[in-house]
Amino acid sequence: MHNILNLKKNTIVGIIGDIHEHHIQFDNIINKFKPGPDRILISVGDLYDKGPGKDKAEYIANKIKDLNKNGYGYIVQGNHELKHIRRAIANGKISKELNWLNKQPYSLTCNFYNGKKITVVHGGVTPKHTEKDLSNSEVAYVRNVDSEGNAIPIKVKKINGKVTVIQKTPGKPWHEYYDGRFGFIVAGHEPQEDGIHKIYKYSANIDTACYKTGILTCMVIDDYGIKEIING
């Protein structure tokens, strides 16, 4: 699923990084950004896990859903949403929050009034991806890419019953290969444990590892480019 938003003149977009159940920081950003008719909030996904509990993820999901009813808020599915949705479907019992999230796109492109565009995904894209691939859940998982343009999966194992990344993937961040074909891409997924967002030539990573740093980042963009950074 790949959705497209055609924005009216003077619309500002705020893109919020991986939230991971940190509802206080999320509310702080909502209060600072103030979503409305000309101020659109978009989440890169990963509302669940690593935080104070599933009920907080559901609280955040319902807030975004309420904004979405008025066209003020959107979300793309992250790998943690996909994990919870798969488990819920397998168990035959899915919450109303996950049911709504399951209907949301894997990517969202915003076309600004002046012709510029940004695309929001959770993970990333590879050099081999075409616009058709923006409808594939793979964009929720891409981190690093090898020299042949293939996404490299992370290596994990269970430690004390918890799935843990044991080795950073080889290759380079997909951002270093991206050529701008889908506009400026804003994504999360790869936690920046220094709490600082990263900006590349045609893309940005705004996952500031809120679960560890306490910093939740919102990148504010208008039709001239990055306008400001709001931290929750």
The string of pLDDT tens digits covering residues 196-215 is 999 999 999 999 999 999 99
Check residue 201 and report its DSSP letter.
S
Whether residue 209 is contained in a domain is answered as yes
Whether residue 161 is contained in a domain is answered as no
* CATH code of the domain in which 219 resides: 3.60.21.10
Whole-model pTM: value is 0.92
Whether residue 186 is contained in a domain is answered as yes
Are 76 and 43 a contacting pair, CB within 8 Å?
yes
Whether residue 148 is contained in a domain is answered as no
Structural domain total, the chain: 1
The string of pLDDT tens digits covering residues 148-193 is 778 887 765 555 666 555 556 678 999 999 999 999 999 999 999 9
Whether residue 151 is contained in a domain is answered as no
Whether residue 207 is contained in a domain is answered as yes
Whether residue 162 is contained in a domain is answered as no
Residue numbers of the domain that contains 37: 2-143+174-231
Burial class (CB in 10 A: 0-12, 13-18, 19+), 153: exposed
Three-state DSSP class for residue 228: strand
Whether residue 153 is contained in a domain is answered as no
